């Protein structure tokens, strides 16, 4: 595996993740890792800290709703970070996540960091960007539920998804040939490991003069983990989130500049393991009719489902912590 770290875009708030691009095992390799005896359960125990307590997260959602009512934005992806005083074996975590049904963009990355080992273990369901020649595609996810039926008639989730599709179209419009951007799939219900999602597909044709750097500058950070309009939302995130997101909400995947190809995932459902600790970011999109308490519950659901897939026996009690702060492990 190899990695490339891109500098932060000019003027981007510090809480917005740097673009971290990593090579990950191909899907065939992921499937082979998931074969054989079931891996031993990962021992994490209850989360010790959350970057935002329940009361703080609910209050932050209320602030976002005030911004929406004032016309400053339409949607904001608000996140918090959970931290454990434990550092499980990253390979064991990866194997546990891959044992049943590997995520479409499973990731295992181990890098030296300040004399220590930094590991990223991801089970992202979301494609950020894929391109081959001038053909480019993004598949934003907005709308999450425990069961597909809950999404089929959810006006709130569809509204979230449509807003982010518009943002993704706008981002790609900066680098694509006019008239080539289209949406072949809008708000399709897909079942992914542990959860169901609404997924849309946006495609276009890159201009001949556009290279990978310009493509990434036009689209990072990903639309689905920021909000709309993006410039205003980035400042709101900077004001409300108490720690940088680190790798979480960045991008993982592979790039072949010689063949002008690449496939990147949004770095969600991703654990960071370093210096004897483990962190996990969780969040959700806030829109005009969001209920603050339910938004907190959604972050807990996402964390519990991912922890359960690692085999953690205490996943149901591990994420509703009500204390902080969290130390960022990627800096």
Lowest mean pLDDT among 52-66, 86-100, 106-120: 106-120
pLDDT at 41: 65
Q: Does residue 7 belong to any structural domain of this protein?
A: yes
Please determine, for residue 145, whether its predicted confidence score (pLDDT) is greater than 90: no
- The CA distance from 147 to 312, in Å, is 21
Give the pLDDT mean for 204-232: 96
- 282, 307 Cβ separation under 8 angstroms: no
Helix, strand, or coil (residue 162): helix
Please determine, for residue 149, whether its predicted confidence score (pLDDT) is greater than 50: yes
pLDDT at 319: 60
Q: Does residue 98 belong to any structural domain of this protein?
A: yes
Q: Does residue 173 belong to any structural domain of this protein?
A: yes
Tokens of 216: 């990434």
Q: Please, which pLDDT band fits residue 39 given cuts at 50, 70 and 90? A: low
Question: Is 126 a known active-site residue?
Answer: yes
DSSP per-residue codes, 233-272: HHHHHHHH-SS--TTTTSEEEEEETTTTEEEEEE--SEEE
Count of structural domains, the chain: 1
Quote the distance between the C-alpha of residue 162 and its chain's center. 18
pLDDT at 312: 66
Give the pLDDT mean for 160-168: 95
CA atoms within 13 A on the CB side of 64: 33
pLDDT at 115: 59
Question: Is 142 a known active-site residue?
Answer: yes
Q: Does residue 324 belong to any structural domain of this protein?
A: no
pLDDT at 323: 53
- The per-residue pLDDT for range 319-331, each reduced to its tens digit, is 665 555 444 443 3
Q: Please, which pLDDT band fits residue 308 given cuts at 50, 70 and 90? A: confident
CATH code of the domain containing 257: 3.60.120.10
CA torsion sign, 151 to 156 to 159 to 161?
negative
Q: Please, which pLDDT band fits residue 42 given cuts at 50, 70 and 90? A: confident
- The per-residue pLDDT for range 180-206, each reduced to its tens digit, is 999 999 999 998 877 889 999 999 999
Please determine, for residue 7, whether its predicted confidence score (pLDDT) is greater than 50: no
Q: Which of 2, 83, 137, 142 is catalytic?
A: 142
pLDDT at 114: 57
Q: Does residue 327 belong to any structural domain of this protein?
A: no
Q: Does residue 322 belong to any structural domain of this protein?
A: no
Paired strand residues for 72: none
- 269, 122 Cβ separation under 8 angstroms: yes
- The CA distance from 326 to 328, in Å, is 6
- The per-residue pLDDT for range 105-136, each reduced to its tens digit, is 999 998 876 556 789 999 999 999 999 999 99
- The CA distance from 30 to 195, in Å, is 20
Q: Please, which pLDDT band fits residue 233 given cuts at 50, 70 and 90? A: very high
Q: Does residue 326 belong to any structural domain of this protein?
A: no
The mean pLDDT value of the chain amounts to: 84
Give the pLDDT mean for 235-251: 96
pLDDT at 285: 93
pLDDT at 45: 79
CA angle at 110 for the pair 39 and 86, rounded to the nearest 5° = 60
Please determine, for residue 28, whether its predicted confidence score (pLDDT) is greater than 80: no
Q: Which of 35, 62, 126, 160 is catalytic?
A: 126
- The per-residue pLDDT for range 256-306, each reduced to its tens digit, is 999 999 999 999 999 999 988 999 999 999 999 999 999 999 999 999 989
Helix axes 90-98, 292-309, angle to 10 degrees: 100
Give the pLDDT mean for 20-29: 43
Q: Does residue 328 belong to any structural domain of this protein?
A: no
Q: List the domain range (segments joined by +) for residue 231.
A: 3-317
Please determine, for residue 173, whether its predicted confidence score (pLDDT) is greater than 90: yes
């Amino acid at each position: 595996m190899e990695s490339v770290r891109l500098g932060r875009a000019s003027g981007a708030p510090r809480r917005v993740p740097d673009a971290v691009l990593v090579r990950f095992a191909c899907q065939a390799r992921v499937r082979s890792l998931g074969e054989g005896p079931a891996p031993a359960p990962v021992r994490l125990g209850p989360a010790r800290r959350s970057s935002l307590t329940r009361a703080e997260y609910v209050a932050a959602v209320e602030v976002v709703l005030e911004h929406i009512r004032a016309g400053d934005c339409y949607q904001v992806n608000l996140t918090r970070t959970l931290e454990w005083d434990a550092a499980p074996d990253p390979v064991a975590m990866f194997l546990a996540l891959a044992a049943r049904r590997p995520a479409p963009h499973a990731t295992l990355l181990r890098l030296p960091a300040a004399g220590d080992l930094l590991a990223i273990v991801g089970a992202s369901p979301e494609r950020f960007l894929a391109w081959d020649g001038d053909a480019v595609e993004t598949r934003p996810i907005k709308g999450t539920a425990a069961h597909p039926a809950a999404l089929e008639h959810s006006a709130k989730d569809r509204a979230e998804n449509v807003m982010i599709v518009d943002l993704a179209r706008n981002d790609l419009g900066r680098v694509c040939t006019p008239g080539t951007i289209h949406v072949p799939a809008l708000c399709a219900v897909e079942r992914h490991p542990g959860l169901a999602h609404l997924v849309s597909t946006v495609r276009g044709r890159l201009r001949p003069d556009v290279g990978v750097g310009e493509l990434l500058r036009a689209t990072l950070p990903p639309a689905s983990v920021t909000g709309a309009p993006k410039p205003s939302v980035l400042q709101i995130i900077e004001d409300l989130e108490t720690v940088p997101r680190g790798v979480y909400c960045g991008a993982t995947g592979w790039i072949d500049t010689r063949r002008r190809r690449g496939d990147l995932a949004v770095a969600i459902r991703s654990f960071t393991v370093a210096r004897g600790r483990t962190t996990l970011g969780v969040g959700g999109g806030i829109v005009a009719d969001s209920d603050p308490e339910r938004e907190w519950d959604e972050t807990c659901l996402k964390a519990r489902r991912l922890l359960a897939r690692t085999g953690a026996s205490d996943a149901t009690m591990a994420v509703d912590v009500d204390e902080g702060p969290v130390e960022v492990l990627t800096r």
